């Protein structure tokens, strides 16, 4: 049985650009620099959460693409959403079919909405890292030691360390959030198309 995974192909092409960009950053040492500069390990937490979200998004995109192909080629296995919808909508009036379609919409949303939540969480983690970084930076500021060169040097070092945490966590969190949101938009488009095709099949049966 031959399937044309158009949705997963679109997902792969878009993410290939992101992975190439990430590879360049790694080879240039920017990722390592960001991790080492963050004494709070918030960058590692953000990258770990992003990696989990990215894998889950890929899995859900593959599942949506497969379900789209079932409806496109009208080959409906018993476990497919389209088959379940058609069996459930038998002998239902228009109002009941609308309720069933609304239920299907909620079911599809529940399968991908956690990716949106994870993407938003990445931004929040970045902002938390920013606050922590500023706290670290300001904790080293002491005007009373301005006449002591050694203490001033320590104060500047702490200030730079805190600012590094603030800036790197914000940057990494924002980039990862945008990337995961793009993945979510691809899945959301696929889910809407799937819902539309399944409803069309139900109306034509």
pLDDT digits (tens), the chain, 205 positions: 444 677 888 899 999 999 999 999 999 998 998 898 888 899 999 999 999 999 999 999 999 988 888 887 777 777 788 888 888 777 777 777 788 888 888 889 999 999 999 999 999 999 999 999 888 888 766 556 556 666 667 767 777 888 888 899 999 999 999 999 999 999 999 999 888 888 887 766 5
Tell the residue number behind the tokens 């599942």, with chain if given.
63
Question: Residue 120 has what pLDDT?
Answer: 96
The predicted model scores a pTM of: 0.85
Tokens of 89: 């909508």
- Any idea what the Cα angle at residue 187 is, between residues 181 and 192, rounded to 5°? 125
Question: Residue 152 has what pLDDT?
Answer: 61
């Amino acid at each position: 049985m031959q399937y044309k995974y158009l949705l997963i192909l679109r997902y792969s092409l878009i993410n290939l650009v992101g992975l190439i960009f990430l590879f360049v950053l790694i080879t240039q040492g920017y990722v390592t620099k960001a991790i080492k500069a963050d004494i709070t390990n918030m960058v590692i937490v953000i990258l770990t959460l992003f990696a989990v979200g990215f894998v889950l998004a890929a899995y859900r995109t593959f599942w949506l693409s497969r379900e789209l192909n079932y409806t496109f080629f009208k080959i409906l296995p018993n476990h497919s959403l389209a088959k379940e919808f058609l069996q459930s909508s038998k002998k239902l009036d228009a109002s009941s079919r609308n309720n069933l379609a609304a239920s299907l919409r909620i079911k599809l949303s529940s399968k991908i909405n956690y990716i949106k939540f994870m993407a938003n969480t990445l931004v929040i983690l970045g902002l938390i890292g920013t606050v922590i970084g500023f706290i670290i930076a300001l904790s080293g500021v002491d005007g009373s030691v301005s006449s002591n060169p050694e203490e001033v040097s320590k104060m500047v070092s702490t200030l730079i360390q805190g600012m590094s945490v603030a800036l790197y966590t914000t940057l990494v969190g924002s980039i990862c959030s945008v990337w995961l949101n793009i993945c979510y938009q691809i899945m959301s488009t696929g889910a809407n198309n799937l819902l539309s095709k399944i409803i069309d099949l139900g109306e034509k049966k």
